[in-house]
């Protein structure tokens, strides 16, 4: 599906899930190279930048975080940017591009847009909005942190092991998808300066700055999650140790009782106390004395 937007002499063509016919139309109108046209038809695993005589071809993957914690997925956007046009192709519906298209269309009609005089400025504006989208994605994690922290100190440490692991997976996937942006944008800075001129350097550097902003936020979130995991593991270990301590003490308490019951239950000849009329109470007293001695020993050692 092709959507077309114009501002003065600039043209932005947004294509979702392009067909061969649509790509052929772009080739004829904008002189898209056949190699690039083939890559527009299907997703590409590797982000990259290619400089052609009449355009720059840029591929970036933008990570998303699924708040249902099923891992999320990456969104690929291919950019073909020329002197007076920009082509964007993608294979999913992207709300950010849809919202930007409405703003772009309204500003074009009112002629109030601050877009410059070549396609690179449209690309800069779109990339800025896409990095804002990533910022919102990461900002949502702050709510997850608050929820996890409350549950950790609310006695739900075991449940938080799964929640923390799921969130850590999301952040790792996010970082994995974002990592190539640095090299790609740095290459685009060189290609963009050659293609659009030195006056566009500021916008190219600003775009790289947007990437570093997201990267720093992501690193901060990962450090926060690491501290939450350490705290949760510490509390969980403490709770487990308390349980083991209780079970160990109970085992030591019952040991003299079990030992006495076993000895006096042998019924061998000559077993003392067993044949006495008060034998039951005497044995019970010995068992109680043994348990009391163990209790006193634990108190002396400050294990209780």
Query: Is residue 165 over pLDDT 70?
Result: yes
CA distance from start to end of the chain: 73
Confidence of residue 99 (pLDDT cuts 50, 70, 90): confident
Residues 89/122, Cβ–Cβ less than 8 Å: no
> Tokens 């034998």, residue?
279
Q: What is the mean pLDDT of residues 228-255?
A: 79
Instruction: Give residue for tokens 């649509």.
Output: 22
DSSP three-state, residue 2: strand
The string of pLDDT tens digits covering residues 263-272 is 666 665 556 6
pLDDT surpassing 60 at residue 71: no
Residue 9: pLDDT above 90?
no
Mean pLDDT of the region 180-190: 91
Q: Which domains does the chain have, with CATH numbers?
A: 2-237 (3.30.460.20), 265-300 (no CATH)
| For the chain, the helix, strand and coil percentages under 3-state DSSP, each to the nearest 5 | 65, 15, 25
Residue 219's CB is within 10 A of a number of other CB atoms, namely 12
Q: Cβ distance 108 to 7 under 8 Å?
A: yes
Give the per-residue pLDDT at 69: 43
Radius of gyration of the chain (CA): 35
pLDDT at 81: 92
**For the whole model, what pTM was predicted?**
0.74
Mean per-residue pLDDT for 108-131? Answer: 77
Closest by Cα among 287, 288, 132, 101 to 206: 132
Distances (CA, A) of 105 to 51, 109, 295: 28, 6, 82
Write the DSSP assignment of 118-156 as a string of letters.
SHHHHHHHHHHHHHHHHHHHHHHHHHHHHHHHHHHTTT-
Q: Per mean pLDDT, which range of 41-45, 65-69, 250-254 is the poorest?
A: 65-69
Instruction: Return mean pLDDT, the chain.
Output: 82
How would residue 122 be classed by pLDDT, with cut points 50, 70 and 90?
A: confident
């Amino acid at each position: 599906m092709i959507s077309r937007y114009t501002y003065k002499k600039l043209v932005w063509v947004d294509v979702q899930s392009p067909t061969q016919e649509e790509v052929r139309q772009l080739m004829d109108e904008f002189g898209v190279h056949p190699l690039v046209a083939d890559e527009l038809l299907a997703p590409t695993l590797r982000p990259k930048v290619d400089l052609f005589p009449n355009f720059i071809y840029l591929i970036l993957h933008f990570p998303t975080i699924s708040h249902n914690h099923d891992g999320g997925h990456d969104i690929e956007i291919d950019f073909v940017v020329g002197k007076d046009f920009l082509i964007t192709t993608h294979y999913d519906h992207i709300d950010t591009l849809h919202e930007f298209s409405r703003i772009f269309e309204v500003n074009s009609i009112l002629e109030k847009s601050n877009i410059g005089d070549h396609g690179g400025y449209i690309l800069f504006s779109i990339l800025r909005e896409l990095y804002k989208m990533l910022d919102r994605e990461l900002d949502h994690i702050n709510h997850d942190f608050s929820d996890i922290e409350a549950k950790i100190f609310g006695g739900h440490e075991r449940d938080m092991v799964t929640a923390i692991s799921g969130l850590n997976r999301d952040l790792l996937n996010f970082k994995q998808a974002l990592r190539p942006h640095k090299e790609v944008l740095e290459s685009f800075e060189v290609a963009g300066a050659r293609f659009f001129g030195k006056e566009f350097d500021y916008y190219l550097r600003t775009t790289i700055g947007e990437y570093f902003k997201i990267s720093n936020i992501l690193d901060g979130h990962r450090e926060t999650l690491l501290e939450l995991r350490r705290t949760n593991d510490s509390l969980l270990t403490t709770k487990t140790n308390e349980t083991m301590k209780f079970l160990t003490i109970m085992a030591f308490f019952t040991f003299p009782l079990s030992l006495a019951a076993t000895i006096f239950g042998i019924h061998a000849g000559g077993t003392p106390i067993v044949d006495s009329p008060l034998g039951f109470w005497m044995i019970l007293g010995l068992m109680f004395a043994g348990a009391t001695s163990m209790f006193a020993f634990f108190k002396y050692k400050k294990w209780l």
